[in-house]
Amino acid sequence: MTIEMKTKYGNIDVSKDVVSVIAGGAAVDCYGIVGMASQKQLKDGITDLLGKENFGRGVVIREEDNERVHIDMYIIVGYGTKISEVAHNVQSKVKYQLEQMLGLKVESVNIFIQGVRVLNP
């Protein structure tokens, strides 16, 4: 599946996998994030950290009316950080990165905290 963008030069199709990798990379770059968690492991009650090659598995891209994009992110935060601040920073950075890199207007970035882990010193 792709997200279509129309420019004055023509149409651009961007894969949802590309969007999810960019969003995951931007999220992990924020302070207080230990890593991404797979949203498919929620049924088992197990949240494993995803490696750098699997950022996209912790991100779900939803598109409405071929113009509004919603992003769901499943993250693991560091112990001792203020969760609301970390979540707000992730929302801001992901939205900014997608607008700057792809010109994609993001309607919402929903954060789901899957766990808390001790940060490595």
Q: What is the pLDDT of residue 117?
A: 85
Q: What is the pLDDT of residue 89?
A: 95
CA-derived radius of gyration, the chain: 15
pTM beyond 0.95, yes or no: no
* Residue 36 DSSP SS3: strand
**Nearest of 118, 104, 92, 101 to residue 27 by alpha carbon:** 92
**Nearest of 91, 23, 93 to residue 61 by alpha carbon:** 23
Per-residue pLDDT of the chain (121 residues), as tens digits, is 678 888 889 988 888 888 888 999 899 889 988 888 877 655 444 455 545 556 677 899 988 876 788 999 998 899 989 999 999 999 999 999 999 998 888 999 999 998 888 866 5
Q: What is the pLDDT of residue 44?
A: 45
- Which CATH architecture is the domain 2-117 placed in? 2-Layer Sandwich (3.30)
Tokens (6 digits) for 112: 């789901």
**Nearest of 51, 69, 50, 47 to residue 60 by alpha carbon:** 69
CA distance 14 to 5: 8
Task: List residues bridging with 14 in a β-sheet.
Answer: 3
| Residue-range domain boundaries for the chain | 2-117
